[in-house]
Chains A and B, each alone.
Chain A
Amino acid sequence: MKKKLLAVLLCGVMAASMLAGCGGEEQTSTTPDASGSVENTEAAADDVADAVEGTGVDLSSANVAVFYYTYADTYISSVRTALDAKLDALGVKYQNYDANNNQTTQNEQIDTALAQGANILIVNIVTSGSVDASQAVVDKASAKGANLIFFNRAVEDEDTAGDVLGSYDKVAFVGTDAPEAGHMQGKMIGEYLVENYDTVDLNGDGKISYAMMMGQLGNAEAIYRTQYAVEDANAVLVEKGKEELVYFDASAAEDSRFQVDQDGAWSATAANNYMTTNLSQYNEANKNMIELVICNNDGMAEGVITALNTAGYNMGYDDEGKLQGTQIPVFGVDATDAAKQLIADGKMVGTIKQDADGMASCIETMVENVASGKALTENTGFEADPEIANKIYIPYGVYTGEAE
């Protein structure tokens, strides 16, 4: 009897969890019509011809599926929140998927969504910068004639620009110009150093030694940021007659002048562990100090700052509004709320802002375009790549706290 009761209870829990799961994922605002959705896909296909008569936006036929590379990513979470709100306001049927950082999972999710009749795919691809991975997604979409919007993570690298985006007429990319963040960060660092050279150069040897926290090996964004942050900073320094940056660990090989999160998670934990170990070896007592820390994202910057705080650096403002103790400038990318707060507290110098809201509104415009039969990239309000018309760039911005 007791056993039966337990079995019944377990079944009940399972059923409840399945219902809850489905209920949570399916965010339907309008009743979808399966047959209608197929028809409308075809109508949207003959874009320009039908655009004239398709003035009334017909959102009931749109069946949107949004694929996120991982729910764990801070920046992507803010895009997700913004996009959810916009799609809700639009009253369109949509469903979110979490690939949990696994391309195979994402491909399977895309197959499932297409089988369910999704006609607008919004894809935040897991394997960034790989033509093979993104081409596979394009092929899936084109086989069903679905519209495809890639966002945030690069679908091709510099050498293969246009290969994927030129291979299908109903595809577009909304993202950032991956190298831009690195360039901007580098320029910001260079300019900051030129202004504060002597304060930053703690041991007064005329050179700034830096540490670099890389988010993930083999990720296009991480590679560009790691490379250009240093190169562009050097360019600014050399122009002003200063020495180039020197990697803090002289024995590191030229191709490994960075410390990378070995789990590829861009995590604060990894950066914190690296930095505490670095500080045990490189500190002011040893007259060999890390004088600058460059991070691929704000999460890692936070981890670094916690490590610096524990060692007594970057303690922020005192009661009179003066910075206390020795400052090691730390730079990040993303402009998360936490990073903005650190900048306001004087513990961090600057970051590069990724516009989550802008990205979401650009995607929203594209969804509306599809529904009203317009061309995918019409009227987004953002600039396209000069050579590839369906590659829309959301600009980055420098954030050092002064602007707001």
Chain B
Amino acid sequence: MNIISNMKSSLADKRASYQAMDSRDKLNYWKELLINNAMYILIIVAIIYTQAKNSFFLTPDSIVNIISLSAANIPIACGIAGCIVLTGTDLSAGRVVGLTACISASLLQSVDYATKMFPDLPVMPIWLVILVVIIVGGIVGWVNGFFVAKFSLHPFIVTLATQLIVYGVLLMYIMINGNNGQPLSGLDDSFKDFVTGSVFSVAGVPIPNFVFYAAIVVVFMWFMWNKTSFGKNMFAVGSSPEAANVSGVNVMKTTILVHTLAGCMYGITGFIESARIGSNQAGTGQNYECDAIAACVIGGVSFVGGTGKISGVVLGVFLLRIIFVALQFLSINQNLQYIIKGLIILIACSIDMRKYLVRK
């Protein structure tokens, strides 16, 4: 009840302040509103346009497809968002996904698969594999965070280095035991069912299980960001490390934790991708960080630092995915697709930065 009355009064306030404006201010108000929400308006226009051109775009099949493609990218985006809140970035994300995907696949190949990487290894319990990939991802994240915090190195440099290191480890990993760089496939049914299987359907369309795992990740990350002192410290460090330090926040510990958590998220992404794609090789995960960073920025997690919401990240992932799918539904020329994607990222970032420039 309280909330409703609050909303009512705030709406009334807004209306009153709007009516108090003169005509020029009113025009300005609408202009600002349009520009600040340009991304959403664009998406709505894009959805309507695509649906008009191709009536399959909004069928249950297609919507579930968009949701599941987005869900696969949500953990990595939620992880990387923390690094961006600290005004940093993480270039190693994609390669960590690749490494953890290959580790998951190698541990969960079915026992009768002819070219199994570890022929004598029984199919491992799934919870153990999840634990392993989270730890592997977490270790890389910890290294990232440690070097960023301890030596005040820019995350760009640190993660550039770890990206290369992880890639090297990945290349070595897929060469071992006579696997010789062949793709890791032949996954055990229990693994495939766990990730891509489906427990329930909407409108006759099965929803893959990993959508729910992504939802769990979102809830967990929302809790971490909003309900823990870790989250509050993260935003404080992101806004101003000096101020955070003065007010008693352990900047080093916070930075390391944010990166470690991000690494764990890449591990989860790797685990899901492993079964979702079904074929894991050295190239798996390449450039995943690009889409994830773009999604965060579109969703309002700013490189300025200290701002961003998990809901924004999720929205960003969805918006980006809707555009990718719409381009495919519209049979847009491949060359043009690069240009359109580039423009969208550029516009989204500009709108985002504009808010801060206006404030100043």
A interface vs B, CB < 8 Å?
A: 6, 71-74, 76-78, 80-81, 98, 217, 249, 251-253, 256, 259-260, 262-263, 265-269, 272-274, 276-281, 283, 285-286, 298-299, 302-303, 305-306, 309-310, 336-338, 341-342, 344
Contacts and interface: CB of A to CB of B under 8 A. Distances in A.
Contacts of B337: 262
Interface string B50-82: 000010110101101100110000000000000
B277 interface: yes
Contacts of A249: 331
B277 A269 contact: yes
Interface stretch (B8-16, B182-190, B300-308, B345-353): B182-190
A134 B164 CA distance: 27
Given A268-B279, A306-B277, A338 B331 contact: no
B104 interface: no
B265 to A, nearest CB: 18
B69 A253 contact: no
A337 B331 contact: no
Contacts of B331: 249, 251-253, 256
Contacts of A309: 192, 278
Contacts of A263: 286-287
Interface SS, A side: helix
A310 B281 contact: no
Given A256-B334, A303-B279, A77 B56 contact: no
A305 B278 contact: yes
B194 interface: no
A210 to B, nearest CB: 15
Nearest to B72: A273
Contact of A273 (B69, B183, B278): B69
A121 B325 CA distance: 45
Output the residue of A217, A283, A338 with the most chain B CB within 10 A.
A338
B286 A265 contact: yes
B247 interface: no
Interface string B297-318: 0000000000000000000000
B61 A302 contact: no
A226 B68 CA distance: 29
Contacts of A259: 328
B180 interface: yes
Contact of A74 (B54, B183, B196, B287): B183
Contacts of A337: 114-115, 182
A19 to B, nearest CB: 15
Contacts of B284: 267-269
A336 B328 contact: no
Of the candidates B181, B276, B280, B333, the one having the most CB atoms from chain A within 10 angstroms of its own CB is B181
For chain B, the bracket of interface size reads: 35 or more
Contacts of A266: 283
A72 B65 contact: no
B281 A71 contact: no
A256 to B, nearest CB: 5
Contact of A262 (B64, B273, B280, B338): B338
A259 B182 CA distance: 24
17 contacts: A72-B281, A77-B174, A77-B182, A260-B334, A272-B278, A276-B68, A277-B325, A277-B328, A280-B64, A285-B61, A302-B279, A303-B279, A305-B278, A306-B276, A310-B208, A336-B182, A338-B185
B185 A72 contact: no
Contacts of A281: 54, 56-57, 59, 61-62, 329
B282 interface: yes
A77 B277 contact: no
A306 B278 contact: yes
A259 B335 CA distance: 11
Nearest to B195: A310
B21 interface: no
B334 A262 contact: yes
A310 B196 contact: yes
Contact of B286 (A76, A267, A338, A341): A267
A274 B325 CA distance: 9
Contacts of B57: 281
A11 to B, nearest CB: 14
Nearest to A285: B61
A396 to B, nearest CB: 19
B183, B279, B280, B281 interface centre (most CB from chain A within 10 Å): B279
Nearest to B338: A262
Contacts of A276: 65, 68-69
Question: Which of B54, B59, B281, B331: most chain A CB closer than 10 A?
Answer: B281
Contacts of B171: 71-72, 98
A277 B174 CA distance: 29
Contacts of B174: 77
Nearest to B208: A310
A336 B183 contact: yes
A72 B282 contact: yes
Given A74-B281, A265-B283, A338-B182, 6 more contacts: A251-B331, A262-B338, A267-B284, A268-B277, A277-B328, A280-B64
A280 B276 contact: no
B277 A280 contact: no
A216 B273 CA distance: 22
A295 to B, nearest CB: 12
Nearest to A260: B334
B175 interface: yes
A47 to B, nearest CB: 34
Given A71-B181, A302-B183, A337-B182, A283 B61 contact: yes
B212 interface: no
Which of B59, B114, B325, B334 has most A Cβ within 10 Å?
B334
Contacts of B68: 276
Contacts of B56: 280-281, 286
A276 B70 CA distance: 12
Contacts of B40: none
Interface in B319-356: 325, 328-331, 333-335, 337-338
